[in-house]
Amino acid sequence: MTYVGESRPALRQPEPERGEASFKDVVAAYVGLTKPRVIELLLLTTVPVMFFAARGVPALGLVVATVVGGALSAGSASTFNCVYDRDIDEQMRRTRRRALPRHVVTPRAALVFATVQAVLSTAVLAYWVNPLSATLSVLANAFYVLGYTMLLKRRTTQNIVWGGIAGCFPALIGWTAVTGELSWVPIVLFAVVFFWTPPHTWALALRYREDYANVDVPMLPVVRPAAEVGRQIVLYSWVMVATSMLLWPVAGTGPIYPIAAAVLGAVFLVEAHKMWRRARGTEDLSEIQPMRLFHHSNLYLSLLFVAVALDPLLTR
């Protein structure tokens, strides 16, 4: 059953843009395939963990290698995703300006680009970082492409809950890049990102639920009323905040991190509850304002991981 509140007018098929693209347009199209904003978020959960693992400032060369390898891996996964989802991307308002729907890049060229990035990423991480970090990067890439994009996304409302696991790996990669081994510390941060992903993604999906409904992608806001989406967001938000506080006893942090985590968590919970309250009794997105929570979730994760990096620097 599809539930989107208001009526569902047929989404007009966009006319593909053809013609000769300039060199600048082609370069921009290839960069767009990597989803730079996603890369930024992933690296934001990688580098601070490296500072925390080093209990100070890690070696610059190691940071550069990890960032380059991680960016290539994330770019590869995003490009594979764009190739597989090009049919629905062409019909969705949010994505129809991407390179493949506009026919600036061919699917074959995009596949080659994705494969080259994957190979280079694995080589960089294996040679200049360590084999464990390279292996984790490959697993994250495979899980995003095979698990989320190909298996879960079009089949279940739990798509981004379990598919979001791929976005949690940078915390593990950042830690192993410095220490060469896993421990409970990065696993706690992995779990924070895991529980952060549903509120973050469902807020965005609520804003674009008409798009997802018209291409039969069963995001939770498509098949459940906004009030239920808000309730689920609140539940995950509480677990996320509780999990974030676990880093304090598990890692033995100084006072900077737990204070920041408590304040940021409290503000996030207030915002989540406000959105849930606005969603009760209405499906009007102008009243619910889901993008407010979406943007706030980006700020929450950014500042939380900044606190992860600053804690060992300011409490030594």
Share of the chain above pLDDT 70, in %: 93
The pLDDT, as a whole number, for residue 10 is 40
Q: How confident is the model at residue 7 (pLDDT cuts 50, 70, 90)?
A: very low
Mean pLDDT of the chain: 93
Sign of the torsion angle spanned by Cα atoms 122, 127, 129, 134 = positive
Structure confidence at residue 133 (pLDDT)? 98
Could you report the per-residue pLDDT of 164-188, keeping only the tens digit for each?
999 999 999 999 999 999 999 999 9
Q: What is the reported pTM? A: 0.92
Give the contacts of 299 (CB within 8 A, at least 6 positions apart): none
pLDDT band at 1 (very low <50, low <70, confident <90, very high): low
Residue 292 has a pLDDT of: 97
Which of 162, 186, 191 has the alpha carbon at shortest distance from 175? 186
Output the pLDDT for position 2: 58
Reported as a pLDDT band with limits 50, 70 and 90, residue 11 is very low
pLDDT at position 23 = 87
Closest by alpha carbon to 264, among 305, 304, 308? 304
Q: What is the pLDDT of residues 258-275, one digit of tens each?
A: 999 999 999 999 999 999
The answer to whether 187 and 161 have CB atoms below 8 angstroms apart is no
Confidence label for 61 from pLDDT (cuts 50, 70 and 90) = very high
User: What's the rounded Cα separation, in Å, for the pair 89 and 129?
Assistant: 35
Phi, psi of 8 (to 5 degrees): -115, 90
Give the Cα separation of 31 and 187 in Å (integer).
Answer: 31
- Per residue in 193-245, pLDDT tens? 999 999 999 999 999 999 999 999 999 999 999 999 999 999 999 999 999 99
CA nearest 94: which of 2, 8, 209, 10? 209
pLDDT for 66-109, tens place per residue? 999 999 999 999 999 999 999 999 999 889 889 999 999 999 99
CA 285 to chain centre: 23
Confidence of residue 144 (pLDDT cuts 50, 70, 90): very high
